Chains A and B, each alone.
Chain A
Amino acid sequence: MVDDKKIKSLNQRIQKAKKNSNPGQNKPPSPIGKAMKIVVEIVAAMAVGLVIGMLIDNYFDTRPIFIIIFFLLGSGAGILNVFRVAKSLQKN
């Protein structure tokens, strides 16, 4: 066979390329992406807490009790979100 040598060398090259590329591994996200992810999480949770508090207060006419309570809960949720994102980033 004429092509035997060629195929052999091709096989070797393929194996080399496979070793270098380590498949299945995604590139880690860039630092900007990480930072944006975390900042937005905390603000979004606070905003949701604030809106829920305002809605309840408007409904029961008890301003500002529920705004305060839900803003604090929202801050807690924001920290929880950041904690989860940081945990998932660490895993990668």
Chain B
Amino acid sequence: MSAEKLIDPIHQFEITKLANIEIGSLDISFTNSSLFMFLAIGATMLLFVLGLSKKSIIPGRMQMLSELSYNFIANMLRDQVGDQGRSFFPFIFSLFMFIFFCNFIGLIPYTFTVTSHLIVTFAFAGLIFIAVTIIGFVKNGFGYLRIFYPSGIPIFLAPLIVPIEIISYLSKPISLSVRLCANMLAGHSILKIFAGFIVMLGFLGFAPLVFLVVLYGLETLIAALQAYIFTILTCIYLNDALHPDH
């Protein structure tokens, strides 16, 4: 095998069709991306079905894990949004578990990382953005528009401040989605490149191997951290919609 073929960091993000499904001119084929989304949902369900099947007072390992994740998100929601956020818990919780498992399944060799595609993360972020905007208008009426004009600013600055605030508001879903996607894309590419170095260097490959092990640990941290950041920012946007005055 030639050296150029060994290092191909982008190949792992390729989407392949597993089953061709077409409705009219619409291509809704079942791809490897869809497969790993289902796997992430399956892993989440497995965790909770296994963990909560016994319901003992002294929890076992699996029950501990599922209760811990529940408490983690519940506390986050209470700290960031307050008691009003209770009704959004199912959404926030499923969002976190899905992204968390997508990131982690992607770390296993020969798997596909769903969250490394911008369109997937942007679909999430865009949906959250639209939902949060609708929630803001429903809860506050047209008073929600005040977020574009903070109090205490002289009227002659309004033509400058209002467009800036609107752009700042519109940039939320983009920064949210790009952050998650870029982290996953960059991390997995680097892992692949260093794995290629190991093979290319032969005996000397132990040096990049050591580095790769360290990098893998870091990547594991980032997978958890990015799921956490995505969820906590969703909570913060939700809080802004529910209490626009703060």
Binding site for B on A (CB under 8 A): 24, 26, 29-30, 32-33, 36-37, 40-41, 43-45, 47-49, 52, 70, 73-74, 76-78, 80-81
Contact = CB atoms under 8 A, between A and B. Distances in A.
A81 B175 contact: yes
B245 interface: no
Interface in B169-195: 170-172, 174-175, 178-179, 182-183
Contacts of A36: 179, 182-183
Contact of B174 (A24, A29, A44): A44
B164 A48 contact: no
B179 A80 contact: no
A45 B79 CA distance: 27
A41 B229 contact: no
Contact of B171 (A30, A32, A41): A41
Task: Label chain A's interface by main secondary structure.
Answer: helix
B229 A37 contact: yes
A40 B178 contact: yes
Interface of B: 76, 79, 160, 163-165, 167-168, 170-172, 174-175, 178-179, 182-183, 221-222, 225, 229
A40 B179 contact: yes
B182 A40 contact: yes
B167 A41 contact: no
A73 B182 CA distance: 25
Contact of A26 (B79, B164, B168): B79
A29 B222 contact: no
A81 B171 contact: yes
Contacts of B182: 36, 40
In this complex, the member of B79, B171, B179, B225 whose beta carbon has the largest number of chain A beta carbons within 10 angstroms is B171
Given A80-B164, A81-B168, A48 B174 contact: yes
16 contacts: A26-B76, A29-B225, A33-B229, A36-B182, A37-B229, A40-B179, A45-B167, A45-B171, A47-B174, A70-B163, A73-B160, A74-B171, A76-B164, A81-B168, A81-B171, A81-B175
Contact of A47 (B165, B171, B183): B171
